[in-house]
Amino acid sequence: MPKIRRARAALAATTLAIAGVVGGVEAAAGSAASQPTLVVYSAQGYDHAMVAAFTKATGIPTKLDDNSTGPLLTQIEASKNNPNWGLLWVDGDTAFAGLDQQHLLMRGFEPSVSWDALGKQVVPTDKSYTPTGVTLMAAMVYDSTKVPSPPTSWQQLLSSQWKGDVGMNDPSQSGPTFPFIAGMMNYLGSEAAGKSYFSKLKSNGLVVNPTNGPTLQALSNGQIKLALVQSSAGIGAAIGDKSLKVKYLNPATLLPSCIGIDAKAPAAVQQEAEKFIEYVLSPAGQKVMQSGDPTGDSLYYPVIDGVKPLPALPSLAGVKTQRIDPYKWGGLEASINTWFDSNIK
C-alpha cells in the first residue's frame, strides 16, 4: 500500500477510535455505524439479568452502569452538555419529570402495550418516559417479636414511645426516598408542613442510612425498631425473616419505576433504547423482571394487562395509596434533598 494511502487509513482508524464513545453509545468493533452499544444507566436489582436477556434476544450490544439513583442522576447532570448514556432506568417518576423539564429526555415515544389501571395513572402526557412497574414508599418494616403493637399513623412516629427507633434512607442516595418525602409534603398540605414533620422526626432520634439495605440492616441489628423503606425491599426482607412484618401507614405513595431515553443520543441509539423498553414490557421481559431479583426489585406491581404480581405481594386493594404529581415535585427534588442533607441527615 502506498505511504499516502497507509497514512489515510491510519487517520481513519484513529478518527473512528476517537468517535467510539459519543452520546450514550460505544461503537461495537467492526460495526460502528450499524451496531452502536446502548449504554444503560440503572439502579434496578434485575438490570444485569435484563441487559443480558435483551442482548441475547436482539443482538444489540449493551453496556450497563449499575449504581444507586443519586449518583446516576449526578452523572447525567455533570455530562448534560455531552451525555454518555443511552437510557436511564430507576425508581421514582419525579426524577424523570425533573429531567424532562430540562429537556434531557426524548419525548413522544410510547410502547405499543395495553396498560393496566396502575399503568394508565403513571404514563406522562408528553411520553417522555415509560413506567415499567410500581412499588410503594414507604413501607414500615418491624420485627413482630420485638414490636407487638406497631404505630398505626404517621403522627405516631413522632411520639416519645418511638424515640431513636425510626430509620429511613437518604434521598440524595436512594431514588425511592425523595418521592416518599414529597409524598409526605403532599399529604400534609405543603412543603413547609413536610419539613416540619421531618424536623420533628429528627428531634425524636431519626436514624438516616444511605439506602434500603443499610436501613434494613439497622433494623436487624437492633439499632432501630421501625424501618421506612421501599415496599419491594421490605417484602423481600420479610421473605427471608418470618419475624419481620410489613405495614403501610395511610397514605403510602405510589412509586413508579421508569425508563427515559437521552434526548441528545444519536437516532440509532434512541431506536435501540425504544427496543429495550419494548422488550422490558414484553412477556419475555416481564419474566426477567419478576425473576431477576426475587427478594428485591422483582416484588413490584405490574403496569401491563395480563401480568400478575408475584405471590408475596399483598393486594393493593387493602392499601391506602396516593399519587403525587411528578411535575410539581420533580423540579423541587434538588433543593429539598439539599435541605434534608443539611438539616435532617
Q: What fold is seen in the domain 137-254+330-343?
A: D-Maltodextrin-Binding Protein; domain 2 (3.40.190)
pLDDT of residue 28: 42
Give the predicted TM-score (pTM) of the model: 0.88
Q: What does the alpha-carbon distance between residue 210 and residue 215 come to, in Å, rounded to a whole number?
A: 7
Question: Helices (DSSP H) in 44-160: which residue ranges?
Answer: 47-58, 69-78, 93-101, 117-122
DSSP 319-331: S-EE---HHHHGG
Element (H, E) at 62: strand 62-66
Q: What is the CATH number of domain 3-133+257-310?
A: 3.40.190.10
**What nine digits make up the cell of 63?**
453496556
Q: Fold identical between 3-133+257-310 and 137-254+330-343?
A: yes
pLDDT of residue 231: 98
Q: What does the alpha-carbon distance between residue 18 and residue 141 come to, in Å, rounded to a whole number?
A: 50
pLDDT of residue 108: 97
> Which amino acid type is present at position 148?
P
Question: How confident is the model over 15-63, as pLDDT tens digits?
Answer: 333 333 444 544 444 444 578 999 999 999 999 999 999 999 999 999 9
Alpha carbon 75 to its chain centroid, in Å, reads: 15
Residues of the chain predicted below pLDDT 70? 1-33
Residue ranges of the domains in the chain? 3-133+257-310, 137-254+330-343
Question: How confident is the model over 88-139, as pLDDT tens digits?
Answer: 999 999 999 999 999 999 999 999 999 999 999 999 999 999 999 999 999 9
pLDDT of residue 30: 41
What does pLDDT average to over the chain?
Answer: 91
End-to-end CA distance of the chain: 66
